[in-house]
Amino acid sequence: MKKTILLFLLMLPFSILSAQIVKGHVTNDAGKLISGVSIYIDGTKMGTVSKEDGSFSLSLSSDNPGNIVFQKDDYDTFTTSVSGVINKTLKVVLTQTNAIEEIRLVPYTSEAYKNYINYFLDTFIGADRDNVRIKNQKSLKFSYDKKNKFLKVKAPNTLIIENKNLGYEIQYNLISYSLDLNNNMINYTGTSFFKETKNTDKIKLNRMNAYDGSLLHFFRSIYENKITEEKFIVNHVVRIPNPKYPSEEELKILEDFRQITKSSGIIKIPENIRDISQRKTSQKPYSLAIVKTQIPDSAYVERTDKKVFLTFKDILQVNYQKYFYEMDGKNFIKSQFPVTLSSFLHPDGEAFEVSKEGNISNPDQLITEGDFSKNKIENMLPLDYKLGD
């Protein structure tokens, strides 16, 4: 059942000073004031916690168009645009989560956790398990649909993620996570709040290298109209169907045969079925072809009414020559030899609004491949990060 979370705007605007403020009270749906609610600008280090009387006050920079999150374990998370609540006194009503686990055809089990925890960590956290870890990892719940090869993960509690390399502790509210092993497609959404735990020169160096050439760097370059200046090269790419990959009709024949063998116990596989199965395993549905190189940003960026949108009907290849930062005494310098990064973005005709911080609307709908897809939690920086922080 979909739950309703209410947000009342008490139209009591106070004096607008140079800083902007979001303030008010948080209650539950029974009217009881709630303390300990995390209130933060999604993806940043800006946040606060509601007091014993449910009150909160959060000062923001003069221009912060992101989303504000109200989050507490055992309550449904509420997210809304900062621009709609700035300099107003709020009454936020959170609805308590239904603690009773729903009966599902594919249940969440300890066996699924044990079998697929490494899949999850590889695709969500990244490869560095020594320096980046989820402190309350055991709270995760896993379900796996063997028939459709579909993995789902949920987090009843806020994930506390320690990143020693970048000097942050991240409170991550995992809203959804799914992994389709048939197509190797990953989709997850969540909100995050960063707390800085360390800020040594080594950590600053790691942050600079995490930022340089990242998706965050690219989106900021789009917003600032500095794609060429920042040395990104963008090419136009199209999909070319692979004639060797099975057709939709052949795939249906293969699936029908699999269903028959489950019920009848047939062992002998006909030659045509074997051929379809081999081509499905060894071939890809399509290949990518570059049709135009170094396209101007006007081909995939729209600027209207002080808003910036990424939109393109086909696929974008984004190349970048990355010179890693190094320490020279107390100075940060770039190395002499670059590494070429190559990524693909699949807007598929959708329009994604880009903010000056480097965030986009509906990020879960933008498919990434290549080096951009490596920007997992281990390399994630807060949206209010500035190069050199």
pLDDT confidence band for 3 (50 / 70 / 90): very low
CATH number at 6-94: 2.60.40.1120
pLDDT confidence band for 19 (50 / 70 / 90): low
Instruction: Evaluate the CA torsion angle 153, 350, 192, 325 in order and state its sign.
Output: positive
| Mean pLDDT for the stretch of residues 204-230 | 96
Distance CA 369, CA 318 (A): 10
Per-residue model confidence (pLDDT) at position 302: 96
Instruction: Evaluate the CA torsion angle 224, 225, 231, 234 in order and state its sign.
Output: positive
Distance CA 153, CA 189 (A): 11
DSSP-based three-state secondary structure for 109: coil
Per-residue model confidence (pLDDT) at position 15: 39
DSSP letter at 358 equals: S
DSSP-based three-state secondary structure for 92: strand
In three-state form (DSSP H/G/I as H, E/B as E, the rest C), the secondary structure along 25-58 is: EEEECCCCECCCCEEEECCECCEEECCCCCEEEE
Query: Does position 105 have pLDDT exceeding 70, yes or no?
Result: no
Query: Does position 88 have pLDDT exceeding 90, yes or no?
Result: no
Beta-bridge mates of residue 263: none
| Mean pLDDT for the stretch of residues 224-245 | 95
| Mean pLDDT for the stretch of residues 24-47 | 93
Tokens describing residue 344: 């693909």
Per-residue model confidence (pLDDT) at position 336: 92
Q: Where are the domains of the chain?
A: 6-94, 101-198, 199-242+284-389, 243-283
DSSP-based three-state secondary structure for 102: coil
pLDDT confidence band for 62 (50 / 70 / 90): low
97 versus 31: the higher-pLDDT residue is 31
| Mean pLDDT for the stretch of residues 356-367 | 88
Lowest-pLDDT choice from 111-120, 225-234, 264-273: 264-273
Residue type, 106: V
Query: Does position 100 have pLDDT exceeding 70, yes or no?
Result: no
pLDDT confidence band for 17 (50 / 70 / 90): very low
- The alpha-carbon radius of gyration of the chain (Å, integer) is 24
pLDDT in tens, 306-340: 899 999 999 999 999 999 999 998 899 999 999 99
| Mean pLDDT for the stretch of residues 332-350 | 94
Distance CA 26, CA 140 (A): 27
DSSP-based three-state secondary structure for 142: strand
Contacts of 382 (CB under 8 A, 6+ apart): 43, 44, 45, 168, 192, 194
pLDDT in tens, 167-201: 999 999 999 899 888 777 788 889 999 999 999 99
pLDDT confidence band for 149 (50 / 70 / 90): confident
**pLDDT cut 70: percent of the chain above it:** 90
Lowest-pLDDT choice from 142-151, 196-205, 337-346: 142-151
**pLDDT cut 90: percent of the chain above it:** 63
- Bin 306: left if φ > 0, else alpha if -120 < ψ < 50, else beta: left
pLDDT confidence band for 104 (50 / 70 / 90): low
pLDDT in tens, 251-281: 999 888 888 877 666 667 889 988 998 998 8
Per-residue model confidence (pLDDT) at position 5: 41
Residue type, 29: D
| Mean pLDDT for the stretch of residues 60-73 | 80
